[in-house]
């Protein structure tokens, strides 16, 4: 395995771990903690997901560089492209919609429940599957 491929694999699994830990553990659990109001939970969530998304952008760039240094199989390129497209959709389409609602709630307005969170979660599931598949396929190549 080339250095670029090894780097890409490592970054894929680091990214996978971050998404699993933050999106599927921290995010839902924070609202169950005693004394955490919706406003506090949203404020924490915004900070955490801003940091996660920044780290994801760096990891995506590192994976792209690692893959460019080697000759990954087409299936690895496809799974990686899925991850990059999902991240772009989350950052450019879904997060701005979530931010508008959380802005309203944080400003004290009663905002209707949003189904946009379900879209974000569905995209996270796709991202998790694509990261795991890409990392495994690259390890096997």
pLDDT at 140 over 90: yes
- Residue environment code for 68-104, b if the CB has 16+ CB neighbours within 10 A, otherwise e: eebebeeebeebbebbbebbebbeeebbeebbebbee
Can you give the pTM of this predicted structure? Answer: 0.91
Domain count, the chain: 1
What is residue 50's predicted lDDT score, i.e. its pLDDT? 93
Three-state secondary structure readout of 29-72: HHCCCCCCCHHHHHHHHHHHHHHHHHHHHHHHHHHHHHHHHCCC
Domain range for 30 is 3-140
Poorest-confidence range of 8-22, 44-58, 98-112, 126-140?
Answer: 98-112
CA separation for the pair 30, 21 (Å, rounded): 12
């Amino acid at each position: 395995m080339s250095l670029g491929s090894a780097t890409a694999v490592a970054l894929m699994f680091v990214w996978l771990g971050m998404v699993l830990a933050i999106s599927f553990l921290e995010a839902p659990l924070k609202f169950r903690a005693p004394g955490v109001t919706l406003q506090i939970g949203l404020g924490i969530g915004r900070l955490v997901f801003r940091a996660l998304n920044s780290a994801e952008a760096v990891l995506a760039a590192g994976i792209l560089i690692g893959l460019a240094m080697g000759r990954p199989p087409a299936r690895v390129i496809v799974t990686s492209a899925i991850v990059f497209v999902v991240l772009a959709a989350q950052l450019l389409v879904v997060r701005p919609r979530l931010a508008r609602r959380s802005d309203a709630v944080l400003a004290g307005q009663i905002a209707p429940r949003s189904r946009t969170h379900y879209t974000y979660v569905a995209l996270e599931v796709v991202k998790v599957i694509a990261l795991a598949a890409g990392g495994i396929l690259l390890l096997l190549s």
